[in-house]
Amino acid sequence: MLDKIKGIVIKTRDYGETNKIVTIYSANAGKFSAVAKGAKKPKSRMAAVTQPFIYGEFLVFMGSGLGTIQQGDVLTSFREIRQDIFKTAYASYVLELTDKLVEEKQADAFLFQQLYNTLEWISKTDSAQVPIMMYEMKLFAKGGFAPVLDYCVSCHSKQLPYAFSINEGGFLCAKCKFQDPAAIELPNALSKLLHTFLHVGIERVKNISVKEENLKLLRQIMNAYYDQYGGYFLKTKKFLAQLDKLK
């Protein structure tokens, strides 16, 4: 059966002399992989539409296993991303995380839209830290390991201020903070921001300004949390860390 599917190319790998296996994330069909015949020939139309970051419309023959891409048209190429090494690094990280945490063939239109919006932010602005963290938090939720950010993990109190505990998996209130000496005390604004990351769609954020030091702290928390619960090693993240040192 032929399906017309709009989606973002999140991964490609070589398959034989001239073909590629392309992994696409879409709103309607979720994540799936399909063979793109002739996609390794540099001048082929198929090569152009099966590059990472491409948002395209694909005509796909969906089998029970690997599908076959019959045809594809570029809808958005996110050109700005491929022209800038930092944008490429951030976007590659976002795609790799998506590939690792999203199950095959499970449609989730909301999550797809979050990915699209994140790539759009990366492409159009020089500071996409906040949308990237918002998207990561949505992926943590999808992966079933989102932190508890609605109340204290231990006593369920909704009384600010909170500290963030990696070990306990979320907020600890002032009374329960002693349970984790390593818990990181948060200004109330950052607790609210983390809560927003988890529950609010990126499309609802227009411009959000966060101080550089707070961005760093949030980044540290996100990284430590992922390292503890996320499980998969991410090669793009290592590269990103090296690039950040150059900045």
Tell me the residue type at 154.
Answer: S
Shortest distance, position 181 Cβ to Zn ion, whole Å: 15
| Contact residues: Zn ion, CB under 5 A | 152, 154-155, 157, 173, 176
Residue closer to Zn ion, measured from CB, 102 or 176: 176
Residue closer to Zn ion, measured from CB, 160 or 189: 160
Shortest distance, position 170 Cβ to Zn ion, whole Å: 11
Shortest distance, position 155 Cβ to Zn ion, whole Å: 3
DSSP the chain: -EEEEEEEEEEEEEETTTEEEEEEEETTTEEEEEEETTTTSTTSHHHHHTSTT-EEEEEEE--SSSEEEEEEEEEE--HHHHT-HHHHHHHHHHHHHHHHHSPBT---HHHHHHHHHHHHHHHH-S--HHHHHHHHHHHHHHTT---B-SS-TTT---PSPEEEETTTTEEEETTTGGG-TTPEE--HHHHHHHHHHHHS-GGG-S-----HHHHHHHHHHHHHHHHHHT----HHHHHHHHHHHH-
Shortest distance, position 158 Cβ to Zn ion, whole Å: 10
Residue closer to Zn ion, measured from CB, 184 or 205: 184
Shortest distance, position 141 Cβ to Zn ion, whole Å: 22
Beta bridge partners of 57: 6, 73
Residue closer to Zn ion, measured from CB, 114 or 154: 154
Residue closer to Zn ion, measured from CB, 157 or 214: 157
Shortest distance, position 145 Cβ to Zn ion, whole Å: 21
Residue closer to Zn ion, measured from CB, 29 or 176: 176
Shortest distance, position 187 Cβ to Zn ion, whole Å: 18
Q: What residues contact 94, with CB distance under 8 A and at least 6 apart? A: 115, 118, 119, 122, 132, 135
Residue closer to Zn ion, measured from CB, 154 or 191: 154
Q: What residues contact 29, with CB distance under 8 A and at least 6 apart? A: 3, 5, 7, 60, 62, 105, 107
